């Protein structure tokens, strides 16, 4: 089902528990502790960017952490799409009571007209205003930042029946049009198959439930709940999808808190990011690393294979008689690259033409290996991951920590 394109905040119901959180030092006893905390810290710093401008108060941070914890503990109410959308609209309307319709302080919210427009459009009644006219009217007012009447909001429950209303002012029309806009979307994307009216009943019920919620920043609450649920789901498969990496929610949570308060001891963001990236890569591709090391150990014992001080291994297939390149040379070669299991990831032979490149612009194993060759030579290079693409790998074809095998013909030095 398509997402509803409404002019409201994407929010979910949430009652803030009113907890108080503070930034503080943490004790990290091992690598698992460190990666849990670093993940929380980095995400906390990221989430901070999504907080409404000038609102990173203790209350807002507490609301986010409450939502995070509630979802992690699986105490969050599960809602289907109809109920969730109704709840979102109700919570957003509650926000508009304080901030004005569509969060425009010059537009006073009139819930009687807003909700009646919502219901009329959702049930297909366009007697007072067509959806297209409502969109044109509201968007014109929005773009021109038209002034309404700043006054005390009029509150009401969302009704369940079509009702004709009288629009006596610009503000009346604005509220009704805003309701029609959202109601038309609800009808198309949520109620298209609602033959018995049960979905509509559920929708209205949840709009009214949303009106009873007390949410400071609906977007932040939604984000907290989404992240908390994701953390819980990772417990069964391993943190960050790495089997065996245990989830420590308390450290993740404190990492979030410290990040939201911009408290970055003992990890600076850059250090934390590098630590997570390298640790995840090593844990996820440890088997690849071990297999490569074993292969090279055994390969070094074969007749004809030589090993340099750096760990590069090479085997002479054809010995040429031409000049040898330097690290500053540009060379012309034919080559084929494979993983240690024989999977070909690149081949100039397959492309049907050799390639030219400067030796100081390629992986270290190539830079060193090609300088051992004379023009006319054909070598087989066995390259440890440290001399290849290292801990990051290259694209989808070369995993991190991969030892590589290249068959190379040196055709010319440019």
Indicate which residues carry an active-site annotation.
335, 345-346, 363, 389, 406
Query: Alpha carbon 358 to chain centroid distance?
Result: 38
The token duo for 185 is: 């979307």
| Residue carrying the six token digits 């995070």 | 68
Collapsing DSSP states into helix, strand and coil, what is residue 318? strand
- Residue 412 and residue 320: Cα distance in Å, rounded? 11
What is the separation of C-alpha 152 from the centre of its chain, rounded to a whole number of angstroms?
40
d(CA 310, CA 337): 20
> What would the two tokens of residue 363 be?
């992986």
**What single DSSP character describes residue 176?**
H
What is the Cα–Cα distance from 234 to 236, expressed in whole angstroms?
5
Is the backbone peptide bond immediately before 266 cis, with ω within 30 degrees of 0?
yes
- Give 270-304 as a DSSP string: HHHHHHHHHHHHHHHTHHHHHHHHHHHHHHTTSTT
Measured distance between the N- and C-terminal CA atoms of the chain, rounded to whole angstroms? 59
Q: Which residues of 81-114 are buried (b: 16+ CB within 10 A; e: fewer)?
A: ebbbbbbbbbbbbbbbbeebbbebeebbbbbbbb
Backbone angles phi, psi at 130, to 5 degrees: -75, 155
**134: which residues sit within 8 A by CB, 6+ positions away?**
117, 121, 176, 177, 178, 180, 181, 184
């Amino acid at each position: 089902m398509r997402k509803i394109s409404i002019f409201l905040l994407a929010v979910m119901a949430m009652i803030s528990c009113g907890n108080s959180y503070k930034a503080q030092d943490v004790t990290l006893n091992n690598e698992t502790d460190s990666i849990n905390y670093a993940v929380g810290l980095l995400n906390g710093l990221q989430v901070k960017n999504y907080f409404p401008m000038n609102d990173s108060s203790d209350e807002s941070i507490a609301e986010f952490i409450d939502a995070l914890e509630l979802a992690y503990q699986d105490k969050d109410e599960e809602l289907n799409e109809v109920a969730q959308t109704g709840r979102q609209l109700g919570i957003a309307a509650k926000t508009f009571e304080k901030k004005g319709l569509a969060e425009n302080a010059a537009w006073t919210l009139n819930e009687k007209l807003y909700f009646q427009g919502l219901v009329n459009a959702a049930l297909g009644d366009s007697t007072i205003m067509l959806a297209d006219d409502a969109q044109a009217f509201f968007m014109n007012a929005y773009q021109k930042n038209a002034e309404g009447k700043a006054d005390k909001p009029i509150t009401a429950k969302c009704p369940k029946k079509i009702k004709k209303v009288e629009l006596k002012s610009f503000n009346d029309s604005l509220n009704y049009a805003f309701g029609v806009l959202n109601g038309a979307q609800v009808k198309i994307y949520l109620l298209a198959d609602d033959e018995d009216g049960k979905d509509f009943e559920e929708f209205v019920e949840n709009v009214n439930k949303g009106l009873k919620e007390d949410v400071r920043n609906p977007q932040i609450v939604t984000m907290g709940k989404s992240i908390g649920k994701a953390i819980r789901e990772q417990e069964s498969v391993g943190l960050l999808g790495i089997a065996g990496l245990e989830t420590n929610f308390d450290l993740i949570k404190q990492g979030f808190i410290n990040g939201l308060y911009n408290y970055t001891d003992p990890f600076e963001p850059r250090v934390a990011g590098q630590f997570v990236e390298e640790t995840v890569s090593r844990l996820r591709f440890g088997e690849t690393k071990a297999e490569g090391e074993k292969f090279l150990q055994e390969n070094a014992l074969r007749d004809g294979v030589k090993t340099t001080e750096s760990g590069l291994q090479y085997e002479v297939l054809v010995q040429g008689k031409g000049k040898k390149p330097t690290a500053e040379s540009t060379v012309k070669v034919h080559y084929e690259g494979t993983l240690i299991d024989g999977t070909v990831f690149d081949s100039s032979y397959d492309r049907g033409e050799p390639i030219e490149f400067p030796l100081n612009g390629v992986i270290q194993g190539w830079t060193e290996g090609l300088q051992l060759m004379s023009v006319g030579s054909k070598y087989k290079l066995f390259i440890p991951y440290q001399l290849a693409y290292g801990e990051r790998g290259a694209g989808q074809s070369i995993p991190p920590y991969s030892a590589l095998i290249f068959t190379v013909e040196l055709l010319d030095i440019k």
